[in-house]
Structure 1
Amino acid sequence: MGVISAIFLIFVTLFFPPIGVFCVAGCGPDLLINILLTLLGYFPGHIHAFYVEYIYYERREQARTGCFTASRAPGVYSERVQSGGQNYGTIVQPVT
């Protein structure tokens, strides 16, 4: 995603937070949590959505520069977000 798509994602998240979470995390626990938070109140859904998007783009930038964070971000359950979209869906070979 480039800068224009990131800005578009922010605008989409402003109007309906679960769509923004779905774009970066896919269909999983983070999306379900965001839907429930949005139903409970409009602002908790926004806070969670922007947090998930922030972690995604922060980890993505770290992966591009080569410095990976070993710790997991609290409250984010998607491996795609945790890795910044890098190596999503691949199997890591064991170290021998």
Structure 2
Amino acid sequence: RRFIANASHELRTPLATQRAAIQVGLDDSVPEPVKQVLLDTNRRSERLIDGLLVLARSERGLEEREAVRLREVVEEECEAYGVEVSGA
């Protein structure tokens, strides 16, 4: 439990600092789309760390599994970054 608490703090603190720097610290010379990409990447990192910490807390592993359509996930991410997906 102590390890998880320490890991949680050590992993989340830098992300919170980065988020604040992106939201407040970047001046107006940085284009808004760049700021948004940085914030989106930061949020994904936070969700990943939260998920890993949940797994670390669990001694039983995953309680439920969910099928994921990888194509839909890839298309969604490509769309978010303005990358065109060709049908294959």
Scaled by the length of structure 2, what TM-score is found?
Answer: 0.41
Scaled by the length of structure 1, what TM-score is found?
Answer: 0.39
Q: Which has the higher contact order (CA 8 A, sep 6+)?
A: 2
Q: Which has the higher helix share?
A: 2
Q: Which has the larger radius of gyration?
A: 2
